[in-house]
């Protein structure tokens, strides 16, 4: 049979059309198969210490809603075991991708983290977060604590500071209408609130201050007093402790240590209010046996859990009279990324979200902590419980501690040396300075 020219042309067109249809069908089928293929999930391990799972889940739920391919497994440790668990895990190669780092830990654990990659970009091709963004969006102390060589080592979600807790009923009973704002006013309040019997026993303490072992965060309180007094805790290169250096020819470090320990000195009758025989400061305050204590915001919950009807107030930390600037003391934990993480980019993207306005707001609502971001501080300042702490973070300071655990012990021993008459104030401060310098030299070797 012979085909005409027209028939041949039509036959050719039909074949081409059939091939095109088959190709289109294959493309559609392959596209459908590809769309159904499961997205690979990246799992990140996240370790923390004080935040329970409910708090972290408040952030994770928001993050997972737009990052379904990321799975984050959170594990909480007790404070006593946390640091050693981290050290052991990193040594064995099983450390977490993300972990909460104390604000003083960068000097001793900086070798375990990877800084925020400077080339990490958003969809618009611009850097996701820069050091300038950090400086503009967060309080100053966070930038000071969490950057190294101009690079971001961690990003905070909160900043806590020491504040004054006071028993309103005891204040009312002695006619004190408000909390002290300066240390001079604090001295007067202590004098009016303290009750000592004829044998010299403290019946009621005006404030839990002056000793080392039975005052919660005693060393933080002393460090704050030193910073407020103008003590330069280290030299400009953070290689030498300088507690004993004079400021305007005054030995301000000695003055701060003397002032702190005077509250536990029976010979200082106008301010003597505490000694090593008192109960632990938080317990004594809750039981109504001491009128004031200094502590961080998380103890609001501690007090209310133990004494729901206890009538207490929170006020700003006392400052030196007529000081040109306020100085408060920072204490906080911030998420960072492990150098050993195989998913450092994804880990940093989560840390960026957690510290963003959206992520941090979710965290703060769940935890009740004070903000580290300037925009969220403005919102929190009006809140009755947390507002004091939020506002204080703007003037919070810290200092370079080569090993915070060892330094805390050195400062506690320094307080004891004075209180038990083992050393003079000057000798105790010089001895503490020497010991911290030994730590610094050891860290450099």
Q: What is the CATH number of the domain that holds 112?
A: 3.40.190.10
Same domain for 312 and 345, yes or no, is no
Same domain for 239 and 262, yes or no, is yes
Same domain for 169 and 312, yes or no, is yes
Report the distance separating Cα 26 and Cα 353, nearest Å: 41
Same domain for 243 and 344, yes or no, is no
Q: Is residue 181 part of a domain?
A: yes
Report the distance separating Cα 176 and Cα 180, nearest Å: 9
Whole-model pTM? 0.91
Same domain for 389 and 416, yes or no, is no
- Are 212 and 412 in contact by the 8 Å Cβ rule? The answer is yes
Q: Is residue 56 part of a domain?
A: yes
pLDDT at 34: 41
pLDDT at 123: 74
pLDDT at 13: 52
pLDDT at 35: 41
Q: Is residue 21 part of a domain?
A: no
Report the distance separating Cα 231 and Cα 253, nearest Å: 6
Residue entry with tokens 């928001």: 62
What range does the domain containing 135 cover? 42-159+332-397
- Are 109 and 115 in contact by the 8 Å Cβ rule? The answer is no
Q: Is residue 218 part of a domain?
A: yes
| C-alpha distances out from residue 434 to 125, 233, 242, 393, Å | 51, 13, 9, 31
DSSP 37: S
Final residue before a domain boundary, out of 376, 397, 418:
397
Same domain for 368 and 387, yes or no, is yes
pLDDT at 445: 86
Report the distance separating Cα 127 and Cα 119, nearest Å: 6
Structure tokens at 29: 């089928």
Same domain for 302 and 323, yes or no, is yes
Q: Is residue 15 part of a domain?
A: no
pLDDT at 9: 52
Structure tokens at 313: 């107030």
pLDDT at 17: 52
Same domain for 285 and 341, yes or no, is no
- Are 409 and 335 in contact by the 8 Å Cβ rule? The answer is no
Same domain for 103 and 130, yes or no, is yes
Q: Is residue 250 part of a domain?
A: yes
Same domain for 204 and 288, yes or no, is yes
Same domain for 73 and 144, yes or no, is yes
- Are 385 and 300 in contact by the 8 Å Cβ rule? The answer is yes
DSSP 178: S
| Residue 140: burial class (beta carbons within 10 Å; 0-12, 13-18, 19+) | middle
DSSP H stretches of helix in 230-298: 252-262, 281-286
Same domain for 105 and 218, yes or no, is no
Q: Total domain count for the chain? A: 2
DSSP H stretches of helix in 94-195: 106-109, 131-137, 140-146, 168-173, 183-193
Q: Enumerate residue ranges in the chain where pLDDT < 50.
A: 1-5, 11-12, 16, 19-21, 25, 27, 29-30, 32-38
Q: Is residue 289 part of a domain?
A: yes
pLDDT at 26: 53
Q: Is residue 34 part of a domain?
A: no
């Amino acid at each position: 049979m012979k085909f005409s020219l027209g028939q041949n042309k039509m036959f050719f067109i039909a074949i081409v059309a059939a091939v095109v249809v088959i190709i289109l069908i294959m493309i559609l089928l392959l596209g459908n198969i590809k769309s159904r293929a499961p997205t690979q999930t990246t799992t990140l391990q996240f370790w923390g210490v004080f935040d329970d799972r409910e708090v972290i889940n408040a952030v994770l739920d928001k993050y997972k809603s737009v990052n379904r391919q990321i799975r984050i497994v959170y594990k909480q440790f007790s404070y006593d075991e946390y640091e050693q668990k981290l050290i052991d895990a990193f040594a064995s190669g099983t450390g977490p991708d993300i972990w909460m780092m104390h604000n003083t830990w960068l000097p001793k654990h900086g070798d375990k983290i990877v800084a925020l990659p400077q080339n990490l970009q958003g969809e618009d091709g611009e850097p996701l977060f820069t050091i300038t963004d950090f400086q503009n969006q967060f309080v100053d102390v966070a930038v000071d604590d969490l950057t190294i060589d101009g690079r971001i080592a961690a990003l905070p979600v909160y900043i806590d500071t020491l504040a004054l807790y006071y028993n309103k009923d005891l204040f009312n009973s002695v006619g004190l209408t408000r909390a002290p704002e300066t240390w001079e006013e604090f001295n007067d309040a202590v004098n009016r609130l303290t009750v000592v019997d004829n044998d010299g026993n403290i019946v009621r303490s005006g404030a839990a201050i002056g000793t080392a072992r039975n005052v919660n965060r005693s060393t933080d309180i002393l460090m704050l007093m030193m910073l407020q007094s103008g003590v330069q805790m280290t030299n400009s290169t953070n290689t030498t402790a300088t507690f004993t250096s004079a400021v305007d020819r005054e030995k301000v470090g000695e003055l701060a240590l003397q002032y702190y320990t005077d509250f536990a000195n029976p010979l200082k009758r106008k301010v003597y209010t505490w000694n090593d025989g008192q109960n632990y400061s938080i317990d004594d305050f809750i039981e109504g046996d001491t009128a004031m204590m200094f502590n961080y915001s998380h103890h609001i919950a501690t007090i209310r859990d133990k004494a729901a009807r206890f009538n207490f107030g929170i006020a700003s930390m006392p400052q030196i009279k007529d000081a040109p600037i306020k100085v408060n003391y920072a204490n906080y934990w911030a998420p960072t990324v492990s150098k050993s993480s195989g998913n450092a980019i994804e880990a940093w993207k989560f840390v960026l979200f957690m510290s963003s306005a959206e992520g941090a707001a979710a965290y703060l609502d769940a935890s009740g902590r004070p903000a580290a971001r300037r925009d969220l501080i403005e919102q929190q300042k009006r809140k009755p419980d947390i507002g004091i702490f939020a506002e204080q973070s703007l003037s919070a300071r810290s200092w370079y501690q080569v090993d915070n655990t060892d330094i805390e012990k050195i400062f506690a021993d320094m307080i004891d040396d004075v209180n038990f008459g083992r050393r003079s104030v000057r000798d105790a401060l010089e001895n503490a300075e020497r010991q911290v310098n030994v730590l610094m030299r050891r860290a450099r070797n």
